[in-house]
Chains A and B, each alone.
Chain A
């Protein structure tokens, strides 16, 4: 399964809303779709699992949606700490493995 994220770079202002897309090369279960945020010099941080469930401690301005091959991460009211790189990821059951998208960079405009 190949995950394609768009756009590659998104330039917005704090307070704006951001919509990030992740498209799979074949239909996947929502159970196995996750989103991560990575800031420079840090390990990735889990934001969303099961396509729409926020991980522990993640603020409600982050929301995930989608099904089949098209998934979306929405960030409402961007905070300065949200400007980072975002990855979507799918877990494949058989044979077990993980694939990441290439990432979307969210920059301050």
Chain B
């Protein structure tokens, strides 16, 4: 069974930084694209970033480009999101999500972690 558990969410001041982590188990982590998706309190879903299975490419939503950095450590089955220059609008529950197997296309996002809450407030 796929298991994704995020950690690292805290209260941080505007302009601050933090690093989110996601521990994955129950599947061969090295073979899958991984995503971060966030949800602001009481709001809808927003895709944040993806990273390929081998870290050869990363992509971001425009609102976080240049401020957030996604990475992974396949030896530890772990996914990371470095959040810098944080703004109040970055306040959200951040979910780690399992994507597609390598370059096989897209079959929906079937496995989600429960999320870790990031609050940006002075």
Give residues in A with beta carbon < 8 Å to B.
31-32, 34, 36, 38, 43-46, 48-50, 55-56, 87, 89, 91, 95-103
A31 touches B105 (CB 8 A): yes
**Do B106 and A32 touch (CB < 8 A)?**
yes
Contact: B110 with A55, CB < 8 Å? yes
Q: CB within 8 Å of A: which residues of B?
A: 35, 37, 44-47, 50, 57, 59, 61, 95, 105-110, 112-115
Q: Could you tell me the distance between the alpha carbons of A56 and B110 in the complex, rounded to whole angstroms?
A: 9
Inter-chain CA distance A98–B91, complex, in Å, is 20
Given A43-B95, A43-B112, A43-B115, are A99 and B107 also a contact pair (CB < 8 Å)? no
Contact B108 A97 (CB under 8 A): no
Contacting pair B44 A55 (CB below 8 A): no
CB of B44 within 8 A of CB of A100, answer: yes
Q: 10 tightest A-B contacts by CB? A: A49-B108, A98-B47, A43-B112, A34-B108, A91-B106, A100-B45, A46-B108, A46-B110, A103-B44, A49-B107
Complex Cα gap A101–B46 (Å): 9
